[in-house]
Amino acid sequence: MNIKKLAQELNLSPATVSRALRDNYQISPETKTKVLAMAKKLNYEPNPFASNLRNQKSKTIAVIIPEVANNFFSQAINGIEEIARMRDYHVLIYQTHEKSETEIAFTQRLISGRVDGILISISSETNDNEHLKEIIKNIPVVFFDRVYEDIDAVKITTDDYESTYNATCHLIACGCKKIGYLLALNNISTGKKRFDGYKNALKDNEIPYNSDLILTDSNNDEENYEHIKQLLHTQKPDGIISSVEEMALPCYYACKELDIRIPDDIKIISFSNLKTAPLLNPSLTTITQPAFEIGKEAASIMFKILDKKYFEPNQTHILKSTLIKRESTSF
């Protein structure tokens, strides 16, 4: 059922039916009532996409993220959707699964005009931003969480350096002298800043940096688990910082298997937005990012851009993370 068929049933012009459905003041109340009654009887539903096409807007924004299963990104999406709903916009979610070629394919597909703007958090594999520079020429783009420093676009990030620096100092204050680091996202600025925070905190507290205490994420869960067990068994660190939440739970499993007590033998901190962190045994000390607020901020700025309101094209917004101290780092 469309407007043309509805008009035939009512013996009215399609233009009159369209105006009546939009509550146009030119149409009499009697005609509006007649049109709405027939529309309900025939189960007519207006097509928002056709209307938006006539207005040269898709009323849709795209969100490109590494993975939905990550607690940070699921909360960020909730923030984005809250703002989008207020503007009567649809949100399309694209997962890259940390693959740069998938990210490139998505951005090239979206240039065609099927969305009004793109919110993106880059994949950990991305080491060339030419495809992003190209899309920025054609469509509004806002980066969040994982960003490129050298690209002219609005960026919403957290204080990654300060967060890891403070977390490392917290472990040192708890008596740790041999702190391991689970390194991830080392291809992009997010991971680099976190790692720099760890190294500089050691330096400022006169603790020597030891590369044997660094374990790099392999993007394979089974391999990561075996490597963590080997690190704990051979190096015997008294503290661990995980730069991503995916490597926090394997630390707990490995400690249980090796009969290492948390926090007596080793203290653990992880970047994590896990809602179950307080329920772990012992509860996990976390660097918790304001994921929901980051999503809201990114979407709010996108709509300012779409409304052609003033904004700095290369501004960076930094939101503060929170170190939540729990039993995994207690004395």
**Helix, strand, coil: what percent of the chain each, to 5?**
45, 15, 40
Q: What is the pLDDT of residue 171?
A: 98
Q: Is residue 181 within a helix (H) or strand (E), and if so which, with residue range?
A: strand 179-183
Q: What percent of the chain has pLDDT over 90?
A: 62
> What average pLDDT is seen over the chain?
90
Instruction: Assess whether pLDDT exceeds 70 at residue 152.
Output: yes
| pLDDT tens by residue, 287-317 | 999 999 999 999 999 999 988 875 666 789 9
The two structure tokens encoding residue 211: 């590369």
Distance CA 294, CA 77 (A): 9
| pLDDT tens by residue, 206-236 | 999 999 999 999 888 899 999 999 999 999 9
User: Are the beta carbons of 221 and 250 closer than 8 angstroms?
Assistant: yes
The full length of the chain comes to: 331
Partner residues linked to 117 by β-bridges:
61
